[in-house]
Amino acid sequence: MADKPKIIVCDATLRDGSHAYSHQINLDQVNAYAAAAEAAGFSFLEVGHGNGLGASSLQVGESLVPEGAMLRAAKQQLVNTRLSVHVIPGFATIKRELVNAMEAGVDLFRIGCHCTEADVTQRHISYARSVGKEVWGVLMMSHMVGPEVLLEESKKMQSYGAQGIVLMDSAGAYLPKDVDAKIGLLASKLDVPVGFHAHNNLGLSIANSLAALEAGARIVDGTAKGFGAGAGNAPLELLAAVLQQEAYPTSLNLYKVLDAGDLAAKLFAGSLPDSNGITIVSGLSGVFSGFSKPVQRAAKQMGVDPRDVFFELGKRKVVGGQEDLIIEVATELARRKKNVP
């Protein structure tokens, strides 16, 4: 049997976890957790607003600390672990956010978009590659289209210069068979490594991450204690244990990964995700996990069931960036409830 390839493990605790913490992560927490991530041996540590560079706003939530300060603080704690950022064109500009992040010492730029809109990443990917930075393409809400569409969009990103392609299960809607079909096709057809970013809405984040590796993925994401939007991400302490059990080579120190998880539980006490009726329905409806809190607020305000709001958003195929539709949907459901035309 051939030796298994070394797996790149990316820690998104200080980025995806920002969703669960209402984007109020402070510099003390950044410093403490970044030091723990370095000790644990993660390949990359992703830092910033939950929606990525430049996303701090009234619409999606304002960060407590400017992103430049967060990035510089994290960078000071890292030696072998490299610093990464999530970038969505539209939130982040090249001349401001990308350049500032480069000056702060970011090593990897993960340029993301909706799964059918790879075209919008061309300028950002091309620019970051032109100045010698490592760049991956990220296809978000990837459950919404089939394998062939994802392959077409991935090839576009690859042609722009992306050195890796990551599929995000942004709604936690995947089943292992879906992962196998989509990751398997990309891994067999692309010339760059393929990765998977799991969410845990249906309790399958670890199973789906393992399915991705078995289908040919070489990159997996996770967060300490699953700290992230909605029901959270693949818990890194569990992911590290499974990788060791399955004899996948990594740069991880299992005990230090476990320590990082324990630290996160203290640093972010009261905000760690759990599985509940809302997060499960988010996965079933295929709606972005980060909508959990605003959906519950809108449903309470309008006197409707938040689960109904999620299913209606799913019917409309709403994606991240369309938060304004949450109130619209809740209002419409309230009118129906009262039989108001």
Between the alpha carbon of residue 302 and those of residues 144, 218, 296, 306, the distances in Å are 28, 45, 10, 10
Map tokens 């991935």 to a residue. 154
CA separation for the pair 332, 318 (Å, rounded): 15
Which long-range contacts does 152-157 make (Cβ < 8 Å, 24+ apart)?
A: 153/115, 153/116, 153/117, 153/118, 154/118, 154/186, 154/190, 154/194, 155/189, 155/190, 156/118, 156/119, 156/122, 157/111, 157/118, 157/121, 157/125
Task: Tell me the two tokens of residue 61.
Answer: 């939530």
Residue type, 140: M
Map tokens 């009726």 to a residue. 277
19 has catalytic annotation: yes
Between the alpha carbon of residue 61 and those of residues 21, 49, 92, 184, 267, the distances in Å are 10, 9, 15, 36, 20
Closest to 117 in 3D by CA, of 94, 86, 97, 88: 88
CA separation for the pair 122, 61 (Å, rounded): 27
Tell me phi and psi for residue 6, to 5 degrees: -70, 135
Given the residues 19, 49, 86, 199, select the one marked as catalytic: 19
**Are the CB atoms for 186 and 142 separated by under 8 Å?**
no
Answer positive or negative: Cα dihedral of 289, 290, 293, 297.
negative
55: which strand partners? none
Radius of gyration of the chain (CA): 19
**Are the CB atoms for 183 and 155 separated by under 8 Å?**
no
**Are the CB atoms for 20 and 273 separated by under 8 Å?**
yes
List residues with catalytic annotation.
Answer: 19
